[in-house]
Amino acid sequence: MNKMLVAAALAAALTGCSSTPKLSEAERLTLYQAHAGADVRSFRMWGRLDGWTPLGDRALVVWTRPQEAWLLDLMGPCQDLDYATAIALTSNTSQVHARFDSVMPLGSMVGQVGRIPCRIESIRPLDTKALKQAHEQLREAQATPRPQETPDGASPAP
């Protein structure tokens, strides 16, 4: 029920500005939070990350498989997350643990020397199927039909 309310609220907010092609950072974070489960202590890494999505400087999503993703909330702001071209997780094992492991932004950002890892505060599994459906519903809500034109190029009278 909560997920449907959040999706409906986001859709309502977006219908007023249907020319906006992307969700704002806050809207994306809200959408992912609405589709996240309860906190877990850790998740298993299957070799390498399948992808990642920054959600501001305090959260990100990591995809471990095409249908498996985790919402990571960070203990504080992660300064270079928005500018990173890649990330690394500091786990020494195949398990990534909340409150122990960190996210390390990588890339050619200014200030690369002395970069501080961003500690993972919490880990929540994402319902990727429901998330995909919500994205599709939001895209449909953003689409606005074009007015039909008459053969002479003028718009029809209302």
Torsion of CA 31, 21, 86, 111, to 10 degrees: -100
| Per-residue pLDDT reduced to its tens digit, 72-84 | 999 999 988 888 8
pLDDT of residue 150: 61
Q: Find the helix or strand (DSSP H, E) in which 73 lies.
A: strand 68-74
| Per-residue pLDDT reduced to its tens digit, 67-113 | 999 999 999 999 888 888 899 999 888 899 999 999 999 886 655 56
- Residue spans of the domains in the chain: they are 21-139
CB burial of residue 33 (10 Å; 0-12, 13-18, 19+): middle
